[in-house]
Amino acid sequence: MADGGEESAATPGAPATPRARARSAALWGAVGGFAFLALAQGYRLLGPGSLPIGVGGQALVAFAVAAASAGISYAAEVRLRAKRRT
């Protein structure tokens, strides 16, 4: 093929270096934290009332969600790459 379609299908994108895994995990953590904040804001705007925690509590929960999703994605990436599902 002239566009390298066969070669690009055989080789994955970025190598699984520790730095690349950490960056990917940090980005997924940010996605998780911001997704929680977006859902909480949507509930406050459209929901029947306010949330049982304040803005500071929401920030702490968002940080916990971000840390958990970053840790899970960092641990799961090795398994997904081993099964070639990335």
Question: 40-85 pLDDT, tens per residue?
Answer: 999 988 988 788 898 999 999 999 999 999 999 999 887 777 777 6
Total domains present in the chain: 1
Q: Which domain holds residue 63?
A: 54-85
DSSP string for residues in 8-30: HHHS-SS---HHHHHHHHHHHHH
Q: Does the residue 77 lie in any domain?
A: yes
Q: One-letter amino acid identity for 21?
A: R
Q: Does the residue 80 lie in any domain?
A: yes
Q: How much is the pTM?
A: 0.73
pLDDT of residue 3: 53
